[in-house]
């Protein structure tokens, strides 16, 4: 089928492979670590998870740099485990959800916190706060086949070498298979979907020139400078 123009594909590198993972939709889980929920002024009890989205164009594979966005004076970092799916479905069980996971990555959900606060105050959507260009840097992916099922491991972020965020994947309120199963009650999940699974406590502001480094044990590391 002929189209009016070609759109650039968003893809992620896969460790040890020449193939790349094509990104379809990008889902994010809010307040999935108890201590982060507390620092955001929320109740960390195990209520049903809530979700928001970023466009695929928000996903950015850094080559040393990530652009600082316009229209904000309060940009915040949120280090997260990213899960990439190679199959999907509707209303999946946790066991079926596990079979959907292809790979893991290290990601950062950047947030224009000032725009988010204003949107919350006015009862408006968060799109401009969460879905801007390069708001979702992601590392290369490591496959489940190589890594095995992931339910624990240190997750951390440093800013200019100073510790900012530190936690463990075992601290997630909702685990990866539970997140996927719950998300599949809202959407028919598909191959190419990726999910940002929440961030530990310690989120904070970043500035141009800052060096950001995020890592997850057994998954990898993501490092870049904001420009």
* C-alpha of 207 from chain center: 20
Q: Supply the pLDDT for residue 106.
A: 98
Q: Supply the pLDDT for residue 48.
A: 82
Is the pLDDT at 156 greater than 80? The verdict is: yes
Contact 129, 115 (CB under 8 A): yes
- The domain segmentation of the chain, as residue ranges, is 11-226
- For residue range 1-35, list pLDDT tens digits in order: 899 999 889 999 999 999 999 999 999 999 899 77
- pLDDT band, residue 83 (cuts 50/70/90): very high
Is the pLDDT at 107 greater than 90? The verdict is: yes
- Mean pLDDT across 142-167: 97
Q: Supply the pLDDT for residue 47.
A: 75
- Mean pLDDT across 146-151: 96
- pLDDT band, residue 80 (cuts 50/70/90): very high
Is the pLDDT at 88 greater than 90? The verdict is: yes
Q: Does the model's pTM come out above 0.75?
A: yes
- For residue range 159-182, list pLDDT tens digits in order: 999 999 999 999 999 999 999 999
**Rounded distance, CA 110 to CA 207, Å?**
12
**Rounded distance, CA 155 to CA 144, Å?**
18
Is the pLDDT at 209 greater than 90? The verdict is: yes
- pLDDT band, residue 43 (cuts 50/70/90): low
Say whether 34 sits in a helix, a strand or coil: helix
Q: Supply the pLDDT for residue 41.
A: 62
**Rounded distance, CA 37 to CA 200, Å?**
9
Which one, of 32, 19, 4, 12, lies nearest residue 203 by Cα?
A: 32
**Rounded distance, CA 125 to CA 43, Å?**
21
Q: Supply the pLDDT for residue 40.
A: 62
**CATH class as words, domain 11-226:** alpha beta
């Amino acid at each position: 089928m002929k189209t009016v123009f070609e759109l650039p594909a968003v893809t992620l590198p896969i460790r040890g492979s020449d193939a790349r993972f094509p990104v379809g939709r990008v889902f994010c889980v809010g307040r999935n670590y108890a201590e982060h929920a507390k620092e955001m002024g929320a109740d960390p009890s195990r209520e049903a998870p809530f979700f928001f989205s970023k466009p695929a164009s928000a996903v950015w594979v850094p080559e040393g740099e990530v652009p600082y966005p316009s229209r904000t004076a309060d940009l915040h970092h949120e280090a997260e485990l990213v899960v990439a799916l190679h199959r999907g479905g509707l209303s999946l069980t946790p066991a079926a959800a596990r079979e959907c996971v292809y790979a893991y990555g290290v990601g950062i959900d950047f947030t224009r916190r000032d725009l988010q606060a204003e949107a919350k105050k006015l009862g408006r959507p968060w799109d401009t706060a969460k879905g801007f260009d390069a708001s979702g840097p992601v590392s290369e992916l490591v496959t489940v086949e190589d890594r095995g099922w992931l339910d624990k491991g240190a997750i951390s972020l440093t800013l200019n070498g100073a510790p900012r965020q530190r936690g463990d994947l075992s601290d997630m309120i909702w685990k990866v298979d539970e997140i996927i199963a719950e998300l599949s009650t809202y959407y028919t999940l598909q191959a190419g979907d990726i999910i940002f699974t929440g961030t530990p406590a310690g989120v904070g502001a970043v500035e141009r020139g800052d060096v950001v480094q995020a890592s997850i044990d057994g998954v990898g590391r993501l490092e870049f400078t904001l420009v």
